[in-house]
Amino acid sequence: MRVQISADPFLEKNAGKPWREQGLWPAEWVGCRDVLQPPFVVAFRLRFPVLRRTPVRIHVSADERYELFLDGERIGRGPERGAPDNWFYETYDLTLNRGQHVLVAKVWALGELAPDAQMSSRPGFLLAAEGAWGERLNTGVAGWQAKPLAGFSFLQADLIPWRGARVVIHGEVFPWGFERGVGRSWSDVISLGPARGRWTDWSFYRDHILKPAGLPPMQEGLLPPGQVRHVQNIVGNRDKRRKEPVRARDHLGDEAEAWMTLWSGRGNVVIPPHTGRRVILELADYSIAYPQLRVSGGRGSTIEVQWAEALKLKPEPMSHEKGHRGEIEGKFFIGNGDRFYPDGGENRLFEPLWWMAGRFVEIYLETTDEPLEIKAIQFLERRYPLSMVGHFDCSDPRLVEIVPILLRGMQMCSNETFFDCPYYEEMMYTGDTRLESLVTFILSNDDRLVRKALRLFDASRLANGMTQSRFPCRPTQVISTFALWWIGMVHDFLYWRDDLDLVRELLPGVRATIQGFQRWIGPDHLLRGPEGWNTIDWVPAWDRDAGVPPDGHSGISGVLNWQYINTLALYEDLEHRVGDPEMAAWA
């Protein structure tokens, strides 16, 4: 069971040690000796006996991601998304019965193939138990073993590369049952170095600085069935299907009923040998989810699962012409997704490493010499547990009607961080996040995601004082107005939550950003366009210059200057509120 903690569980235990050991954990980061450089997917296992029923608390992290299994059952995912100097770990309270047990972690690191928002320091796995169980469970201490998980390859997405590569699973070589710790080719792990929760004198910048996960567990649950919109007899790869419009005359209505029965969990569907089927599903609502397909047989067949927010009017990947979002007739399905190759075994469960987002799902199945039985299709939603605790009413019924749509949009953009959008970029931009934070204040008393966003942007600050425009993110991007917008976020938080402790924590960073802008103030006391992308809005007149207003690159822009002046007023108010009028006078 996931539990939340707020402080390093091992810091007090180092009290009597030399100062150089303060912050060190009693566990080490470990890796698989057979593969250390991404991209890779690796399994780690530890078998251990329990003599009597006992509670155990463990802390788990990985670089880049992990899924944790106890005796074959998945008990957690993580780590919560962060950055190398804010690397999160999850805490689990286990109750272990007498007998033999096995812990297994599936860990993957994709490097440059990962989503841009997925940062990394040094790929590996970490588990640390509290108390006497540390000697028996800790990585780097106990007898952990590892092996590469064969059968994974990766497809770089051509439509939305910022979300990283999609997965291909080759069932013929995949080690089925690895989550139970079975199979061969396991070997002892190698140590990658100590785990630490704070800087020490020999720390290097790229080391992970561990922080307890600050968010609650993501909400997970199976989505209800939606509609089977189209079933078609077609054989062809993704590029061919992208050029094939959806036509009602091609729809196989009888088969659509069978697919709906399958999706409802009350039947199965068999694809005969040498047959291709294209099935377009419409989810009950826009969703973030892991598709899960359970199949039997079908050796040599191909399954592709593609996602789209809506079908398009033209067969062009970068076209944004969609027409009515709910219509499919005459349109083209252009999406991104994953590919699975069944091995002919029974009850094989195919699931990607990472979720997808959208409203429509295209499942393409093509068999060779064996029939393929689809035994189950389901979608496991995973999002932040954001809900509306109040109620909205209004004399205009049109506004009341759109509230569920607006709420769903916020839920889809609330995850381990805020998102600008889950389908295209999956990144937390300051511009989007300030608005999402304000909506969160109105919807809910839970402000943990807002607090995390404030701290991560604070941690993103560069030497020139600018916070990065999106973070966590591997490529560095600076939008000067977004750095000012972050100060606005701090000001918003003060007035919506009145938490002076967090404001005081963030105020040194606010001052650094304000002072950083001074380097671009001229002798006339006007702001010149700072270095970076000084975008304001994608209005048609500025579209050729990526949203940058006239004179916004290095000249004197009225828009930039007025936003800077507004931010100075917010900053002055912050200093007054925390009781520092001398600093307020400087503004």
Q: What CATH number does the domain containing 340 carry?
A: 2.60.120.260
Q: State the number of CA atoms in the 13 A half-sphere of 94 facing the CB.
A: 28
DSSP string covering 420-466: S-TTTT---BHHHHHHHHHHHHHH-S--HHHHHHHHHHHHT--TTSP
Range of the domain at 302: 220-383
Spatial separation of the C-alpha atoms in residues 294 and 292, rounded to whole Å: 7
Query: Among 325, 353, 383, which residue terminates a domain?
Result: 383
Spatial separation of the C-alpha atoms in residues 159 and 292, rounded to whole Å: 23
**pLDDT computed for residue 206 by the predictor:** 65
Q: Identify whether the C-beta of residue 335 lies closer than 8 Å to the C-beta of residue 306.
A: yes
Same-domain pairing of 256 and 321: yes
Same-domain pairing of 235 and 206: no
> Backbone phi, then psi, for 465, in 5-degree steps?
95, -10
Is 159 contained in some domain? no
Tell me the Cα Rg of the chain. Answer: 26
Of residues 56, 12, 43, 164, the one with CA closest to residue 105: 43
**pLDDT computed for residue 205 by the predictor:** 55
Buried b / exposed e across 471-485, counting CB within 10 Å, b at 16+?
bbbeeeebbbbbbbb
Q: Identify whether the C-beta of residue 557 lies closer than 8 Å to the C-beta of residue 529.
A: yes
Q: What is the pLDDT of residues 186-197, one digit of tens each?
A: 999 999 999 999
Of residues 48, 47, 42, 46, the one with CA closest to residue 62: 42
Q: What CATH number does the domain containing 456 carry?
A: 1.50.10.10
Same-domain pairing of 357 and 281: yes
Q: State the number of CA atoms in the 13 A half-sphere of 414 facing the CB.
A: 30
Is 559 contained in some domain? yes
**Cβ neighbours, 10 Å, residue 266:** 8
Is 169 contained in some domain? no
Residue type, 101: H
N- to C-terminal Cα separation, the chain: 49
Same-domain pairing of 286 and 416: no
Is 421 contained in some domain? yes
The residue with tokens 């961080």 is 417
Query: Among 160, 191, 214, which residue terminates a domain?
Result: 214
Spatial separation of the C-alpha atoms in residues 355 and 337, rounded to whole Å: 9
Is 72 contained in some domain? yes
Q: Identify the burial level of 470 via C-beta atoms within 10 angstroms of its C-beta, where 0-12 means exposed, 13-18 middle and 19 or more buried.
A: buried
**E-assigned strand segments in 324-435:** 336-341, 348-350, 356-366, 372-383
Question: In which element (H, E) is residue 491 found?
Answer: helix 480-497
pTM: 0.95
Is 186 contained in some domain? yes
Spatial separation of the C-alpha atoms in residues 72 and 53, rounded to whole Å: 19
Spatial separation of the C-alpha atoms in residues 337 and 446, rounded to whole Å: 33
Which residues of the chain fall short of a pLDDT of 70?
201-206
In the chain, the number of structural domains is 3
Same-domain pairing of 206 and 231: no
Which residues pair with residue 155 across a beta bridge?
Answer: 166
Q: Identify whether the C-beta of residue 62 lies closer than 8 Å to the C-beta of residue 107.
A: yes
**pLDDT computed for residue 239 by the predictor:** 80
Q: Identify whether the C-beta of residue 53 lies closer than 8 Å to the C-beta of residue 148.
A: no
Is 389 contained in some domain? no
Question: In which element (H, E) is residue 304 found?
Answer: strand 302-308
Which parts of 171-280 fold into alpha helices (H)?
238-242, 253-263
Same-domain pairing of 210 and 239: no
Is 59 contained in some domain? yes
Q: State the number of CA atoms in the 13 A half-sphere of 82 facing the CB.
A: 25
Same-domain pairing of 271 and 315: yes
Chain-centroid distance, C-alpha 469: 18
The residue with tokens 């007498």 is 98
| 516 three-state secondary structure | helix
Same-domain pairing of 424 and 550: yes
Same-domain pairing of 87 and 200: yes
Of residues 12, 63, 376, 107, the one with CA closest to residue 207: 63
Same-domain pairing of 419 and 560: yes
Q: Identify whether the C-beta of residue 408 lies closer than 8 Å to the C-beta of residue 309.
A: no
Same-domain pairing of 192 and 239: no
Q: Identify whether the C-beta of residue 214 lies closer than 8 Å to the C-beta of residue 88.
A: yes
Q: Identify whether the C-beta of residue 299 lies closer than 8 Å to the C-beta of residue 342.
A: yes
Spatial separation of the C-alpha atoms in residues 31 and 192, rounded to whole Å: 6
**Cβ neighbours, 10 Å, residue 418:** 25
Residues 6+ apart with CB under 8 A from 189: 30, 31, 32, 33, 44, 125, 139, 144, 145, 146
> Backbone phi, then psi, for 438, in 5-degree steps?
-65, -40
Same-domain pairing of 133 and 242: no
Query: Among 383, 418, 434, which residue terminates a domain?
Result: 383
